């Protein structure tokens, strides 16, 4: 062989491909994982933005407590 050796596990940018994981998990898993990540991000934003909104609208500490109690999922 006169050319460079073939390296199917390396993409053109130099990063590695995990063909064994991508092939087994498939596009449905990728969609599920992405949906879970977006949902968790939204939950985190809500947990931070809610108390900040209440604090911006009122200076009453009891309002923050009531907002936290109302948002409890337990």
Q: What pLDDT was estimated at residue 16?
A: 60
Give 34-49 pLDDT, tens digit per residue.
999 999 999 999 889 9
Could you tell me if residue 47 is inside a domain?
yes
pTM score, two decimals? 0.53
Return d(Cα 47, Cα 67) in angstroms, integer. 11
In-domain check, residue 14: no
Confidence of residue 65 (pLDDT cuts 50, 70, 90): confident
Domain count within the chain: 1
Inter-helix orientation angle 61-70/19-57, to 10° = 140
Q: What is the pLDDT of residues 23-34, one digit of tens each?
A: 688 999 999 999
Q: For residue 55, give its domain range.
A: 19-70
CA distance 44 to 36: 12
42 within some domain: yes
- Structural domain includes residue 36: yes
């Amino acid at each position: 062989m006169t050319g460079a050796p073939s390296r199917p596990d390396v993409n053109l940018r130099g990063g590695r491909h995990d063909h064994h994981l991508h092939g087994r998990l498939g596009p449905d898993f990728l969609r599920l994982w992405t949906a879970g990540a977006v949902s968790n991000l939204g939950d985190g934003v809500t947990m931070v933005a809610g108390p900040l909104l209440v604090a911006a609208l009122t200076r009453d500490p009891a309002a923050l407590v009531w907002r936290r109690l109302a948002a409890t999922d337990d």
